[in-house]
Amino acid sequence: MIRKKVDTVTQALEGIQSGMTIMLGGFGLCGIPENLISALAQSSHKNFTCISANVGVDDFGLGLLFNQKKIKTMIGSYVGENEEFERQMLSKEIDVILTPMGTLAEKCRAAKVGIPAFFTPAGFGTEVAEGKEIRAFNGKQYLLETAYQADFSLVKAWKGDETGNLIFKGTARNFNPLMCGAATITVAEVEELVPPGALDPNEIHTPGIFVDRIFQGEQYEKRIERRTVKYP
C-alpha cells in the first residue's frame, strides 16, 4: 500500500520553486492550510501565481505572503479584507485576475477531472469575457473558460490517513476538495493523521488517489475573519 505521509512541512513543500502557480484551499479564513502558508512565507521562494477564493487578511492566511512580497499574480474572487493586498493592487505591484466564484470553482474542478475547458454564462457582457470565445446555446450566450494549470495544490482537511484519504469538517469543505488533484502535486495538511483503514470508507470526502503528500499540522489558530454575534 502506498504511503504518502511526510513528517514535516518542509518535506511536504519539497519541489516548490519561485515563479510556480499554486492553488490554496479555504474560504475566507475557514479551512486554509495554515502550516503550509506559514512555511511558504518563511521560505526564500517568491513570484508565485496564487489561485484562491480569497486573499486572507493582513497578518494571517495569504496576507503573510503579501507581506513578504511573494505573490506576483493573484487569481481570486473575494479580496475585500486585506489592506496590504489592496495597496499592492492599486500601486500595480501585482497583477490581479478577478474571477466569478462559481467559475473559479469549476476551473479547479475541471483541472481535477481532466476537462480542458467549459462554457459558462457567468461574466458574459462584462470585462471577464474580453478575449474569450462566445457561443450561444439554446438562445443564451456563454463564454469559454479553460481549466487551471497549477504546479501545486495546498489544501487542509480535518482528518486523513497515510494513503491520502481525506475528511473535511463543516464549512472547511469548500474549495479544498475541488483543488485536490487539480495540480501536478497535491499536498494535504490535516489536524489528525491516522493509519490506513482507520477511516470509515463511507465518510471519506476525497479519495487518496487525488493526494500526493499528507502530513499532520502542528497547530491551528483558526481565526475568524469577521466575527458576527447574535443579540437577544
**Which residue matches cell numbers 489536524?**
191
pLDDT of residue 75: 97
| Cα(230)–Cα(232) distance, integer angstroms | 7
- Residue 105 is inside which H or E element, if any? helix 101-113
Domain that holds residue 71: 9-115+148-216
Does the CA dihedral 173-174-178-181 come out positive or negative? negative
Neighbours of 180 (CB within 10 A): 29
Maximum pairwise Cα distance, the chain: 55
| 116, 146 Cβ separation under 8 angstroms | yes
> Is 95 a domain residue?
yes
> Is 65 a domain residue?
yes
> Is 152 a domain residue?
yes
> Is 139 a domain residue?
no
Q: What tens digit of pLDDT does each residue of 166-200 get?
A: 999 998 899 999 999 999 999 999 999 999 999 99
Residues of the chain whose pLDDT is less than 70?
A: 1, 232
Q: What tens digit of pLDDT does each residue of 47-76 get?
A: 999 999 999 999 999 999 999 999 999 999
> Is 105 a domain residue?
yes
> Is 132 a domain residue?
no
> Is 232 a domain residue?
no
Residues 6+ apart with CB under 8 A from 19: 47, 48, 49
Tell me how many domains the chain contains.
1
Task: Report, in angstroms and rounded to the nearest whole number, the Rg of the chain calculated over CA atoms.
Answer: 18
What CATH number does residue 36 fall under? 3.40.1080.10
